[in-house]
Structures are given as structure tokens and as C-alpha cells.
Structure 1
């Protein structure tokens, strides 16, 4: 619960091959008061059934996620206190058997061995990709407008009297000694009088790993959120807010070991830009691996995801060019387009009819005033829209591309690594050839547990961008530890092929090349640093496949569960981004606090409002991760069900078609395999 202090050494269970042997109990709840009694009971149960196991066929176990050398050493997260209470966030509710070896901390990556809780992420032909904005009831929309009106009126009244009776507090808004104010009155009004009142929802400070769970720094404010005071207490909470899609944000494991070794060899910084002494062999290795991963000829990496769009788009288009943009594209895309000086036209979100009508118009009319043909037309879309959870209708976009001959830029910041049977993004999700797309852009911040971004395409385009984009000569090169995290996590998703040597009878046969292999295949050993040694589960791709199938199940289960409980959600059934509509601004801070003060386990959520989304569609944005277990999703649904009743948030399907929370949790596997239409009509 918030306000409870964590001890200097928080409880964490690190079940390595050297740990005690565990056996699954019949119950799924933890009833022991201390860690010592918990371990003792499991060991006794395992010993009693040892004879039965000897005569029974070996069970199907989960391979070790990573046989990390770091698990043999003790740290603050691996020390097990004998006198501490058993924490549901630190221990698995279903203890593993002695045959199931887990070496990752349960608090960072949840232990889940049930193969029923798996799904394959791929597009199901016939499923709608159109974004449907479901409005709330009339009284909800009316009260939402009234709420904003009240906030605006009260804000103006406070400003009117405050400037006259407390001028010192408004010095930054008033002319001083002939200088213009740095912030205009109206431009900062929303920040001061609306957003600041619910700032408790935003910028929640954390400490430690942003994995399956995270530790919040408790805080409070005595001046209406003008300042926040950090307390000495901390709260461990279930994390459903971070972009940790595949669960690679962890302090232990094969990836962490590889990063540690890279620090020993390369240090912590490249100390320069790529074109001015900051390029290392890790940079070229990462670019080759990224190109192989996404199925393109070449790739260029950037130290920041936002700048990948904002700095590279101006290197492709300029005056006399036209950029066609989805109306809900990310701010980095909008900034890059404005900076380029190109003309820009927008179309309705994911509406292919509106897009084709716009293409016909701009091609027939040409440039404004002169009506000359455009130098080039570039369509920019996101693969997975981060606020709506919708996928671009890529098959239809490619049909229009072949018909109208424009260039295509796909931003895969939230889709690369997280969707598709092989985790290769929307091209893998829709089973289309990635070479049909001119520019595939993505980031490493989400699925790979790193930082930065990339663009990939033909070698001619990438060679031009290395020189013309601002990133090469001016941006700091990516740090070696970040590069190593990208290489290790990406290789674990792909799997690695053993090096193949030519036979004695064909001494002149060339070695296999990464560019000649079929996408999406495993990574050739030649693309990895020669000194890098990965665990067998990483090399085989077993760990990557498990993570991909876990996030697909978690995404479908959470979205379908919320829908059957009666909530209004946006997005595709396969999307790991699940927005839950709140509408009213007054419900934002209350919903956030109720989740954080959930009776069983605190849940940390992200509340989104204007300008990240429309003013009338305030929402909670759940970011699902492969690190979450089925029990975690159950707890999120239980908390949402309780909060939805308190705040009147259930305005989706009719009451007679809804399920109770217990039925949703019991029929999770069936629910995750239902089609979205069946969920609403069941």
C-alpha cells in the first residue's frame, strides 16, 4: 500500500539452479507469513512427491530463460530476508516444480509455465482495421463539457484576483522592467489551471528496474501540485505503464551479462558523433543486425527515437515536396515535417477512402499556385498508433502505393519487436514483403529495453542519409552498453545460426551472407561480435518465441476482458497498447489513485489527456508486457472492475451481454481466442 516503507533489502526470489528445489502446490495463493516458511513448505512438498515423480513421465518444463552468471552473486534484489512477509509481487503465486528452472527475478519478469497462456500475433484476414471512436452516453459527454467549463471559469477568476492581490506569484506572466513575459497568459493557462490540478497522475518518480513491477517514490503536495515533496517511503507496484513490451528491462539475464562485458571492453560512451570519431565496430554491427532483423538492405541508427523522425525527415523532403500524414501521427513526425519546409496534407485516421481521395486531389492539382508536379510525395504512417492502439491498414496502403507511385515511410516505434509471429513488426504481422516499404523507422526504447532509434531502407537511401541527416555530424553516437543491449535482445528474438564452413569438396564455395538469407530467418553468427557468448536459450530463439507469445496472449486477454466487463476501449485486439476511456477530467486523478491504492497490490498506470489525445477522450493507457503473468492481468481486471463501478466507466456493451469478473478470469483462455465481434455479441 502507498506510504509503506520498503526495507533496504527488498524481498526478491531468485530461483537459480543453485537455489532450493520447488514444487507446485495445489493452491494458487500464498498463505505463509515469512519467506523461510514459504521455502520450507515447498521443499517438504517436493520431497514427499519425489517417489511419484521418479515413476512418472518427465513433465514439460520451461527452458531456463537465461543461465546468467550474475544470478550467482548476491545483490539488493536477490537477498532473501528470513523474517519478511511474503509479497505477492515478489513471489510467483504458482511456485515452479523442481524441473522448471527460472533464473530471472519474478519481480522483473513473471514466472509463467502454462502453455495455454500463449498466443501468436498475426493478422486474421477479415478483421477490421478501421478505427471506431465509440462515444460515451450523452450525460457523460455533457458532464465532461461542464467539467472543463467549470475548470476554465474558476481558473480565470483565480487569475483575475491573483494578479491584483498576489502580483509576485504572477511575475512570470507580467511585463517586468520593459521585458516581455516569457510565458503568455493564455498559452500557459491550460498548464497552470487544468493540468497542474491533476499533476499527481503524471511524472510519478520510480527507482530501480522498470520491469513487471517497479518501486514508486511516494510524494505529496501542499500547494496544489505546484511543488512535490518526495517522502522516505517507497511502494512496490505492478507496472502496467512502461514500454517494456518484451520484458527485456531487467537487471539480470543473458542480455545484462552481455552489456556488462561490453562496458569492460568499450566503456560507457563513444565520446563523439558518428562522422567525427564516435563510430565503433559495435555501431556497424548493430546496423547490420537491424537491417537483417527488419528485412531491409541497410540501416542507420540514432541515439534518440524522437530525433530519428525529426532530424531525418528533412533530409528526404523539402520545398516542392508533399508529405501526406495520418492525422494521429506522433509529434516527432509533425516536427520533422514542419522543419523540412515541405507541404503537408493530413487524412482521417486510418481511413483508406479518405487517403485515396486525397491522393487523387494532390496528384491532379500539383503544387499550390504553379500547379507543377510535386518533386516527390511521401506518405508517413505509424505501424501501431501509440495512443489509439490501432494498426495501419498496411495491405491497403501498399495497394495505393503501387497505384499512385508515392514513397512510404512507416514508423514502427511501438510495433517492432512486439507484434508479428517473429516479432518483426507490422510487415511480419501482415505477412508482406518489407522491401515494398521505402523507409522502415523504429525505436529500441520499447521492445528491446534500450534507447535510440533507426531507419532502414535501400543502401542508396541510407548512404545518402548518413551524410545529409543532422544525426551523423552533430548527434552524439549511441553508447556501447546501449548497443550491446540492442544486439543481445534482438539476437534472442531472432535466434542465431551456427557458423557454416565450406566442405572439403568445395573449397571455393563462399560463406553464407546475411543479405542472401530469407527474411525473417535467424541471425548469422557472423553478424554478432566474435567475443559475445550468449546462453543456449537465447541462441536457439526459445526465449524470444516465449516472450512474443506471452505478450500476444496478455494483450488479447486484457482487451477482451475489459470489453466483456463493459468498458470502452480503443484499438486492435493484438495491440499491446490498450486505452481505457475515462472522458471526464475529474475521474483521471481518482482512477489513478484508486489503481495505485488497490487493496491486494498497488498498480501504477499512465493517464493520458490533452494534448497527447483529444480533450474529450481522456484515458488510461495500459501498456502490456510479456513479463506480466495471467494472474497479473487478472488483478488488473479485478481492480478495473471495482473502479469502473465506483466511477461509472462501464459504457460499452449492454449490461445483459457482460460477464462477471470471476467468469472473465476463469474463461481467460477462451476469451483470448474469441474474435472481437464475438466478444461484443456473445
Structure 2
């Protein structure tokens, strides 16, 4: 796939003159861009081996900086292959010989895919994601901006609403054809509600440029954007035919397993050869293939539970499993910021629902006292069961559940606990086992653990883990087992390979009975045809990724605060929300980040996903990011924050640092010593 089109993108026309990108090899040695392509497979392999030998002798400590104006050292040039030439080399040659589909010994050619995963060997930029025992979890305090920011935000919405209604009133009379989809026609009622579509037509459409950005390729450390333009104010989008490579801080690729090459990708390729790409017939009458059974056993081992059930979709895991747990006469107590899948599953279960203030243990205890003493409405009979549902990591706020506080209340009031770890599993904790690992509690003190594979594991689907009695019940009564399609073998292989890489694989001579949670996975628990490279099988690479992710999270979170921004969330969270407030600043922030010399793609979030006046940008940090990548994001935020007037945090005066101070003291900000 070419990294640059012959035609410049619209945003590239406005950029200052740039020096050659580091994505192109500039040296004349080996496989350089100025060198002719090898004429045979043998010469290709020889040149690649020489380049690897030179790279190993120099031992580079980090991926070159992403900036398009960065200089590239000679040691890096030997191992950075132009992706377009590499694709050509791996598919054909002048002699018509069949070349390998990927370079040999993938552990040695990491720098050929530095766009997917940035490598950094500096131990200063690592820390451990772990809660210090005996210390209380810091309470999340939402900061309010100055009154003029709130006032201007409300006025902005007021103007949009008033002008929108005026335009609708006039438009329905002067241009009725534009509103046919909102008006009755030929005796049929409109499928779209005029009121419901008002927000979409009058606000979201104005900002559609920063939503649903089309991309191609691997969503790793960088991502390839398909440039587009709109001739009719975002009603339609047209592709320009050009592409832009951007730093990707918008994907849930927490551990960087979104890679097209490497040990996990090799395992997935092998699974396709063995099982095919379809999931048809993989699950019959509630049963499954050997790969499904191994996957569920591995998930149970990873989470520290007795058994586990795998579903093919994360949203469906909650929405189809919760109705199998509770029904009429039961009570679900839900955190007010729980995900839509939890709300939907609870709604269709028929159970009564009560909500408590976000992560507020006093609110939860007060509600528990009330519902236990009063019982069911009207009859006041005792509840059949009470299920408290919380999330491990809240995706819009970046806050962690106060798990020790919830467990204390569980012992006192005897309710069942359901923890949704969609964003926390694999991302936090010294061993990546989620919130129980982070707080150092026994996972079996939690009744039900739910999680997804779409974030840390680079795959798809979800799981439910718990006691064998509960899981057996859910296999029969949960709708996902009976009606949903099973997970495809290739996706399941990615789950198994990435999870085993985090855990590490025990030597074959170690019996499974001697391995206790949270230890490595037994060799016999994995398919024999999955051969992970030594750095993955040993767990060394997985541990390194966890520690790099922990550092990157704390560094970005603390750095933004020191620069004066208002942020939400816990320092250990890989989701770092930066508050924008005014809806007009959402599109501007997105544009200005993407139009920088080093383009950066971000995710902006607004109502109804967030409260009306707390529009925000969510940075999604990954272990694939280098320290220099976070530096790039901080510099961009510092400059854009001054232009858009975003620095309204509580850090003021001498406590506020400039961006160079933040970057120079990165090791201090990213440590877990606070």
C-alpha cells in the first residue's frame, strides 16, 4: 500500500514545506528506496539478512520520531523499509519466483513495521499499573471551567437551536422536497421523526468531518486516512483519491496487538489454513470446536475464574447475558454512567432498575439500605436477587471503579456483583488481568466478570467468566449461545495468541496443576500448532507492553494537567478525556490536529454520548506509542490549547509547566510514585 499519493491532499497544501518522511528509506544500502529491487528471492533474503545484521549490531533503542521533519540516523535507515517496496518484494520478482508472504524471523524485522508498533528500549519510560495497598482510591472531581466558557457554550447551543427551527420553518414551505422524509406521504407516516432528527441535521451534520473518518490498513501506532471533501456542507462526502499517514491516538489498541506481522499474526494465518475463515458450523447445538473450548478455558485461566463463556460480539455479551441472570422480581442497581449495552440488557430483562451516583459508595450504600428495607414496589416482598452492575473502566470518563469499596458493601449487604471489564481487561494491573489485578483482590470475590476482546487483544467478541454453575446456566439460558453465530476461528486464534503472550507460556515439563493464578498458561492448554516466538512465549514482551502502556497513560494524563487542561479520569486509564466544552471547538480541534506537520487523528465525543456541555476529545493511549509520540501529542495540544482557549484547569501560576518542562520531566510524570 503506498504511503503517499502523487496528488497532495487538501490539508497537505496548507502545510509548510516538509523534509522527506522517515517512512521512506533514504540510504543507498541494501533495500533502499534508491536501490533497484532484488531480482530473485535469494537476493531479497540475502539483502534482508544483511540489514537485520546491521540493525542487531547497532541495537537501536527506539523507533525514530514520527515527525515528518525528523532526521533519521544511519542505523535506523538500514532497517526501515519503504512499505510500498516491501509489498512489491513480498509478492513478485523479475524471475517470477514465489517470494515469502512475510520476511523471515519476524522478531528481527520489527523496524519494518514501525508504523504499527513503536519500539523503545529505555527503561525510564516504563512503570507498573498497580494500586498501592492501604491507600484510598482518589475520588474523581469534575472541574468546572470559567463561567464565560459555560455561558458561551449554552449560547452556542441556543443559537443553533433557534436558527435550526427557523430554517426548518422556512424550508418546509419554500423547499418541501428537502423535507419529504419527515412528512407523511401517500398515506404513510414518516419513518424518521422530525424532532429526533433535528440534532443530527442541525448540529452533527455541521461537524461530520470529525466523525466516521474512513481509514485503511492496520490501526496501529499510525493509521492511513482516506482524504475526503464535501461539496454540500457534509451531506455527502467525496474521496479525493489521496491518503494521509497520521499518528493514531484514537483506537482501542491498548497493548498494540493490532499488527499485521508478528507471532500473533503468524498464528492467525495458520488457523485460517486449518479452519478456514467462516464460522459456519463451528458451533452446533451449544457445542463448539476444540479451539472454542480451549479459548474458553484460557479466558477462565486468565481471569482467575472457574469457567468462561465466549460470545461473538461485545455489545451482545451484555445485552443477551443480563436477561439470563435477572428477571421480573429482581433488582439491578446500576452506576449512572454504565454502558448502553448494560442498560439495554437490563431493560429487556424485565427486572427493576435503580441507579446510584457514579462511583459514589455513599450513594450506593444509601440506595442499598432503601431497597432492602422497602422490598419490591407495591407488594414489599423481598427481592428475588439484587445484582449490582459496574464497569471496571468507564470509557467516556476514564475513571476506575472503586472495587475495594464495592466489595466491602458486598460483604455487608449480600448482593451479587457484575463487573464489566470491556476497557480494563488486559490494559491495567501489573499482569494485565484487569481491576482485580490492579487492586490486588481475589477475582473470585466478584460473581461475574464480563470483558471484550476488541481492545487489548486486537480481536473481536466478548466473554463472561464466573463459577461453573453460573456459566453452565448461561450456556443454556443466554440468547447468544442459542441464536448468535459463533466466533470465527481466526479471530479466536488472535484472542488465544495475544492472551498467551500476556500470560507467558510455561515450559512443557511443568504440570498444569502446579500453575496457579495469575501464573503462565500451561503448554498443553494451547493448540499445538501455535508456535509463538520466544519473546512472546516467555511473557517478556507482554510484560513490557503492559509497563509501557502504564507509563504512557500516566505521562499523557499528568502532562495535560501540568499544561493547564481540564481532564477526567484516573492516571492509570488508557483513556484520557480532554474537555473542550464548546461544540464549535470540536471540529476545530480535530482539523488542527490533523493538519499539523505530523498529522494526528483523534476522537471527539459530544451529546448524547456525554452531557450537553461537556464535549471532549478522548485520547486512546497504546503501548505501541513511544515516548516521542506522546511528546508530539503534548506539543500539539499545547499550541492548539492556546489558540482555542482550552487551558482552564486548576493548575495555575507557578504550578503550571510549559511543554518543554513537561517533556524534560517525562520520567517523573509517568512514574507510579504519586
Q: Shorter-chain-normalised TM-score: which range?
A: 0.7 to 0.9
Q: What is the CA-CA distance between 1:103 and the residue it aligns to?
A: 5.6
Instruction: Note if 1:379 corresponds to 2:377.
Output: no
Match of 1:53 in 2: none
Aligned to 1:106: 114
Q: What's 2:606 paired with?
A: 609
Residues 16 and 571 of structure 1, relative CA distance in 2, 3 Å threshold: farther
State the Cα distance separating 1:187 from its structure 2 match.
1.0
**Which of 163, 176, 186 matches 2:195?**
186
* 8 Å Cα contact 2:9/2:244 also seen in 1: yes
In the alignment, structure 1 segments of 5+ residues that lack a partner are 47-70, 80-98, 502-510, 677-682
Q: Contact 2:332 / 2:346 at 8 angstroms: preserved in 1?
A: yes
Partner of 2:126: 118
Paired with 1:31 and 1:293, the residues of 2 have a C-alpha distance of 35
Tell me, yes or no, if structure 1 residue 42 matches structure 2 residue 54: no
Aligned equivalents of 1:419, 1:385: Cα separation in 2? 13
Within 2, Cα distance between the matches of 1:136 and 1:33? 35
Are residues 1:660 and 2:658 paired?
Answer: yes
Match of 1:49 in 2: none
- Compared with structure 1, are the counterparts of its residues 143 and 261 closer, same or farther at alpha carbon in structure 2 (3 Å cutoff)? same
Could you say which residue in structure 1 is the equivalent of 2:502?
A: 493
SS of the equivalent of 1:471 reads helix
CA distance in 1, matches of 2:110, 2:50: 11
1:26 positional shift: 12
- Alpha carbons of structure 1 residues 155 and 330: separation in structure 2 relative to 1, 3 Å: same
Shift of 1:38: 5.6
Partners in 2 of 1:136 and 1:113 — Cα distance?
A: 39
Aligned twin of 1:458: 467
CA 1:578–1:12: 2 relative to 1, 3 Å: farther
- Contact 1:104/1:252 (CA < 8 Å) preserved in 2? no
Residue 87 of structure 2 is matched in structure 1 by 75
Does the aligned pair in 2 maintain the 1:412–1:440 contact within 8 Å? yes
Q: Would you say the 8 A contact 2:126–2:547 is kept in 1?
A: yes
What is the CA distance between 1:269 and its match in structure 2? 1.5
1:403 maps to 2:412: yes
Q: Is the 8 A contact 2:311 2:317 kept in 1?
A: yes
3-state SS of paired residue (1:224): coil
User: What value does the CA root-mean-square deviation take over the aligned residues?
Assistant: 2.9
Distance 1:182 1:248, change over 3 A: same
- 1:98-497 correspondence to structure 2 within 5 Å: 102=110, 105-125=113-133, 126=135, 128-272=137-281, 274-276=283-285, 279-497=288-506
Q: Residues of 2 paired with 1:27 and 1:547: CA distance?
A: 14
Is residue 571 of structure 1 aligned with residue 603 of structure 2?
Answer: no
- Residue 635 (structure 2) aligns with: 638
2-structure distance, mates of 1:590, 1:76: 39
Using the alignment, how far apart are the partners of 1:246 and 1:215 within structure 2?
19
Q: Distance in 1 between matches of 2:295 and 2:67?
A: 47
Distance in 1 separating the partners of 2:340 and 2:68: 49
Q: Do structure 1's residue 19 and structure 2's residue 51 form an aligned pair?
A: yes
Deviation, structure 1 residue 431: 0.4
Counting only pairs closer than 5 Å after superposition, residues 469-548 of structure 1 correspond to structure 2 as 469-500=478-509, 511-513=511-513, 517-548=515-546
Report if aligned partners of 2:225, 2:244 keep a CA contact under 8 Å in 1.
Answer: yes
Q: Is the 8 A contact 2:118 2:626 kept in 1?
A: yes
Name the SS for the 1:182 alignment partner. Answer: coil
Deviation at 1:10, TM superposition (A): 7.0
- Alpha-carbon contact 1:103-1:253 (below 8 Å) kept: no
CA deviation digits over 1:568-611, x for unaligned, max 9?
Answer: 00000111000000000010000000000112x10000000011
Quote the Cα distance in structure 2 between the aligned partners of 1:302 and 1:296: 17
Corresponding position of 1:580: 578
Going from structure 1 to structure 2, the CA distance change for 1:495 and 1:26 (only over 3 Å counts) comes to: closer
Assess, with a 3 A threshold, how the Cα gap between structure 1 residues 656 and 300 changes in structure 2: closer, same or farther: same
Q: Secondary structure at the match of 1:300?
A: strand
CA distance in 2, matches of 1:609, 1:31: 29
Matched with 1:669 is 667
- Say if 1:232 and 1:354 are closer, same or farther in 2 by CA, change over 3 A: same
Task: Tell me the number of residue pairs that the alignment of Structure 1 and Structure 2 aligns.
Answer: 616
Task: Determine whether 1:650 maps to 2:647.
Answer: yes
Cα offset, 1:124, TM superposition: 2.7
- Name the residue aligned to 1:561: 559
Q: Shift of the alpha carbon at 1:179?
A: 1.1
Equivalent-residue separation in structure 1 for 2:672 and 2:165 (angstroms): 50
Alpha-carbon contact 1:416-1:424 (below 8 Å) kept:
yes
Displacement after TM superposition at 1:76 (Å): 5.9
Q: Distance in 2 between matches of 1:401 and 1:254?
A: 42
| C-alpha contact (below 8 Å) 1:383/1:414 kept by paired residues | yes
**Deviation (angstroms), 1:444:** 0.2
